[in-house]
Amino acid sequence: MLATIISTSGSTPAAAFSKMVVKDGGKSWLGTIGGGCMEGDVLQQAIRLYNADTAEIQTFHLNEDNLDQGLICGGSLDVLLEPIRREYIPLFRQMTSLRDEGNDCILLTMLDDAQRSKYKVVLELSPEDNQLENLNQLLQAKMPSLSSSASEVSGEMLTAYHRNEIRRLKSGRNELILEPSMGRPHLIIFGGGHVSKYVSRAASMAGFRISIIDDRKEYANPVRFPEASETLAVEFYEAFDRIAIKPSTYILIVTRGHRSDEDI
C-alpha cells in the first residue's frame, strides 16, 4: 500500500508529497508521512484497505480536539491510501526515469465514486507543453475518456505544475488527483579541480545529478568523482555536443584558468 499526503493546511508534521510504502501486512514500511500515532493509524488502515483491495482518502485534524491521535501540530492533512498493483510497476519506473533525467511529469490517478483506483497515467511535460492547448492535446491522446472535460483538467494540470502542488478535481462520478513530479536538478561542472571536488560532493548530497567535464583525464574520471553520474574528459567546446541543457540544468564554471571560463 502507498500512503501519500495530498494536501495540508496549517502546521503539519510532514509536507504534501510525503510518501510511505506499507509492506508485509503492516510489519514494515519505507518513508514517512509524519510519524506518531497518526502514522500508526495509517498503518492500520492500510492493512484494512489492502484486504479490501480499495483506495481511500483520509483526513486528520491534528488539534487539541483529537488528542488520541498523539500529534497536536494544529493543522490538517489528507492522506491518499491506495494499493500498488503489479501493472503500476512500469509506470513508477517511467516516472523515476523521467525524474532522474531531469524531465518534469504529472501523475494522474482516477478514483471512482467508491474510491477505487481505476487507473493511473503519467504525462511527460516539456517546455512546449507549458501551454493550455498543448496540454489539451496531450491529455486527449493519453486519456480519451476525459475528452469532454479535457480543457478543465488541463487547466488544473497547469496550475498544479506551476505551483508544484497536488490538485484534486471532480470529473463526473470520478475524482482526479494530479501530482506533479519535478525533474531532478542536473549540475554540470566545468573543471575538475579541488573546488569542484567538494562542490560536487555537496551538490550530490543535496540531490543533484552531477556531470564533470575537464579536458584532462586525470581530472575527469569516476575515481576522482565517484558521486558523479558521468565524467567527460573532452575539449570544453566539444562537451556541448554531449550534454543536454534543460530547465532543470545548472552550470558551474570553475576551470583552471579565466580563458577557459570565458570560452565556456
Please report the pLDDT score of residue 143 as a whole number: 73
Please report the pLDDT score of residue 154 as a whole number: 83
Q: How confident is the model at residue 202 (pLDDT cuts 50, 70, 90)?
A: very high
234 or 35: which leads in pLDDT: 234
Q: Look over the chain and give the mean of its residue pLDDT values, rounded to a whole number.
A: 87
Please report the pLDDT score of residue 119 as a whole number: 73
Q: What is the pLDDT of residues 99-142, one digit of tens each?
A: 988 889 999 998 877 666 667 888 888 765 556 677 777 777 77
What 3 state SS string does the chain have?
Answer: CEEEEEEEECCCCCCCCCEEEEEHHHCEEEECCCCHHHHHHHHHHHHHHHHHCCCEEEEEECCHHHHHHCCCCCCEEEEEEECCCHHHHHHHHHHHHHHHCCCEEEEEEEECCCCCEEEEEEEEECHHHCCHHHHHHHHHHHCHHHHHHHHHHHHHHHHHHHHCCCEEEEECCEEEEEEEECCCCEEEEECCCHHHHHHHHHHHHCCCEEEEEECCCCCCCCCCCCCCCEEEECCHHHHCCCCCCCCCEEEEECCCCHHHHHHC
CA dihedral 173, 56, 52, 123 (to 10 degrees): 70
pLDDT greater than 80 at residue 83: yes
Q: What is the pLDDT of residues 27-40, one digit of tens each?
A: 889 999 988 888 88
Q: What is the pLDDT of residues 41-69, one digit of tens each?
A: 899 999 999 888 888 899 988 876 655 55
* Mean pLDDT in residue range 169-178: 84
pTM: 0.78
Q: Residue 23 contacts by C-beta under 8 Å, 6 or more apart in sequence?
A: 29, 30
Please report the pLDDT score of residue 116 as a whole number: 66
* Mean pLDDT in residue range 146-170: 83
